[in-house]
Amino acid sequence: MSDRLIMKLRVVGAKLTTPDVLVLDLRHPKRPALPAWTAGAHVDVMVPGGVRQYSLWGDPEDRSRYRIAVKRETAGRGGSKWLHEHATEGLELHVSAPRNHFDLDGQVRPCVLVAGGIGITPIFAMARALAAVGADFTLHYCARSAAEAPLLDDVRSVCGDRLTTWFSQEGRRLDVNALLAQSAGAELYVCGPLGLTAAVETAIDAQGFPVERYHREHFAAPSGAGFVPEAFEAIIASTGRTLHVPAHRTLLEVLRDNHVVRGSSCEIGVCGSCECDYLSGDVIHRDAVLGLKARGARLMPCVSRARGVLILNL
Ligand code: FES
C-alpha cells in the first residue's frame, strides 16, 4: 500500500448511471470536509483481495463528499464486481486521500478533451474545471450508445455545445487524425481504453503533434500478451550499489528486498504510487500512467523493466 492517508468513508449514495456503471457517493462519518482534490485526481479504494483506483468526478468545491463511478468489469480481477454487489448505503470503505497524475497543465492554450466510456470520469472533472474559469475547450465523448455513456446528462449540462458525442451504434466514430489536424496549438487530454489511446498515439506520431502537449490516462494496464521479461541490472546512483533483477521478479520487489523502500498500491502499473526517477537506461515502460515526455526520466518499477543496465536516481 501507499503511505497516503487512508480514511474510512461511508457510502451515502449508490445509483446506476448506465446498466454497468455504479455511481457511489462517499462521506466521512464524522468529518465535514474531505482532503481537497483537483481535476484528474483519483483515489484508491480497498476491496477484498486488493486495491482499485477510481477517478473523482464530482464538484471539487464540495468537500463533503467524493463521487466515483465504478464500471463492472466482467473480465477484471473481481473488485468492481464486489463493489456492484456490496456497495449500498451504509457500507464503509477504506479510501485513500486523492492523488493526481493527470492534472490540467495550465490553461493558457485551448484544451481538447477526449474520453472513451468510463474514461469520462477524469475528463468530465477537467471539463467542469475549465468551464468554471471560462477556458476554451471541447470534449469528444466516445461510447457505444447514449444509454451506455456514463454521466452523459451531467456532461451535457456542464459542456453544452462544447460536447461532441461519438456513438458507434449510430455509426459515428471519432476520426482521431482529423481531430489532431484541427487541434494544432491545443493541449490534448485523453482517457479511455487502450484502443483509443493507441489510435491517438499513432496519429500523434504520424502528424508530429508535440508530445509535451499530449496527456493521457488509461484505466487498464497494457496487455502483457507476448511480453517476455528478461533479467537486467539496476544501479542505485546514491550508493553505487548494483541490484540484479531476475526475469521472474519485478524491479519493485528487488528494491524492497534490498530495503530500498517504495510505496505501492495497484502493482499493475495504473496508480502511479511506486514512481521513481532514473538517470539512464533502456527502459521498457509497461505502465498506464506516465505520458511520453515523463517516460524520459521516470518509471513505474512495479511493471516496467530495462535492457542491460538501469541507473536509478535513488
Ligand atoms: S504500484 Fe501502482 S503503478 Fe506501481
> How remote is the CA of residue 275 from the centroid of ligand 1, in Å?
7
> How remote is the CA of residue 36 from the centroid of ligand 1, in Å?
22
Which residues are within 8 A (CB) of 239 and not within 5 positions of it... i.e. 6 or more apart? none
> How remote is the CA of residue 271 from the centroid of ligand 1, in Å?
5
Residue 303's CB: how many other CB atoms inside 10 A?
26
Ligand 1 pocket test: which of 54, 273, 295 has the largest number of ligand atoms within 8 Å of its C-beta?
A: 273
Ligand 1 pocket test: which of 46, 52, 218, 270 has the largest number of ligand atoms within 8 Å of its C-beta?
A: 270
Has residue 79 got a pLDDT over 70? Answer: yes
Please give the backbone phi and psi of residue 286, each rounded to the nearest 5 degrees, phi first: -130, 20
Has residue 63 got a pLDDT over 90? Answer: yes
Has residue 137 got a pLDDT over 60? Answer: yes
> How remote is the CA of residue 312 from the centroid of ligand 1, in Å?
17
Judge contact between 58 and 39, C-beta under 8 A.
no
CB-side neighbour CA atoms (13 Å) of 285: 19
Closest ligand 1 atom to residue 287 Cα is 3
Span between the terminal Cα atoms of the chain, in Å = 20
Instruction: Kindly state if the Cβ of 155 falls inside 6 Å of ligand 1.
Output: no
- How are beta strands 276-284 and 298-299 bridged, if at all? antiparallel
Instruction: Kindly state if the Cβ of 302 falls inside 6 Å of ligand 1.
Output: yes
Kindly state the average pLDDT of the residues 230-240.
95
Name which of 119, 3, 121, 146 is nearest 66 in CA terms: 121
User: What does the block give as the cell for 56?
Assistant: 473523482
Q: What is the pLDDT of residue 107?
A: 63
Name which of 302, 290, 296, 292 is nearest 102 in CA terms: 290
Q: What is the CATH number of domain 6-96?
A: 2.40.30.10
Instruction: Kindly state if the Cβ of 264 falls inside 6 Å of ligand 1.
Output: yes
DSSP 275: -
| Residue 219 banded pLDDT, cuts 50, 70, 90 | low
What is the rounded CA–CA span in Å between residue 113 and residue 249?
Answer: 37
- What residue segments make up the domains of the chain, in order of their start? 6-96, 111-218, 232-312
Highest mean pLDDT (candidates 159-163, 195-199, 245-249, 261-265): 159-163
| Residue 221 banded pLDDT, cuts 50, 70, 90 | low
Q: What pTM, to 2 d.p., does this model score?
A: 0.77
> How remote is the CA of residue 45 from the centroid of ligand 1, in Å?
14
Q: What is the pLDDT of residue 223?
A: 56
Ligand 1 pocket test: which of 2, 250, 262, 300 has the largest number of ligand atoms within 8 Å of its C-beta?
A: 300
Fold classified for 232-312: Ubiquitin-like (UB roll) (3.10.20)
Ligand 1 pocket test: which of 2, 274, 285 has the largest number of ligand atoms within 8 Å of its C-beta?
A: 274
Q: What is the pLDDT of residue 216?
A: 86
Cα dist from 32 to 8, 26, 87, 118, whole Å: 13, 12, 21, 28
Q: What is the pLDDT of residue 290?
A: 83
Instruction: Kindly state if the Cβ of 265 falls inside 6 Å of ligand 1.
Output: yes
Name which of 12, 4, 231, 184 is nearest 95 in CA terms: 4
Kindly state the average pLDDT of the residues 210-215.
88
> How remote is the CA of residue 47 from the centroid of ligand 1, in Å?
16
What is the rounded CA–CA span in Å between residue 126 and residue 66?
Answer: 15
* Angular region, 151: left φ>0, alpha ψ -120 to 50, beta rest: left
> How remote is the CA of residue 258 from the centroid of ligand 1, in Å?
18
> How remote is the CA of residue 210 from the centroid of ligand 1, in Å?
27
**pLDDT tens-place string over residues 99-128:** 888 888 766 789 999 999 999 999 999 999
Name which of 194, 171, 191, 175 is nearest 183 in CA terms: 175
Least confident range of 43-47, 104-108, 255-259, 268-272: 104-108
> How remote is the CA of residue 60 from the centroid of ligand 1, in Å?
25
Instruction: Kindly state if the Cβ of 187 falls inside 6 Å of ligand 1.
Output: no
> 11 - beta bridge partners?
26
| Residue 229 banded pLDDT, cuts 50, 70, 90 | confident
**pLDDT tens-place string over residues 277-305:** 999 999 999 887 887 778 889 999 999 99
Specify the residue with its C-alpha closest to ligand 1, atom 3. Answer: 269
- How are beta strands 163-167 and 137-143 bridged, if at all? parallel
SS3 state of residue 94? strand
Residue 100's CB: how many other CB atoms inside 10 A?
17
Q: Which CATH architecture has domain 111-218?
A: 3-Layer(aba) Sandwich (3.40)
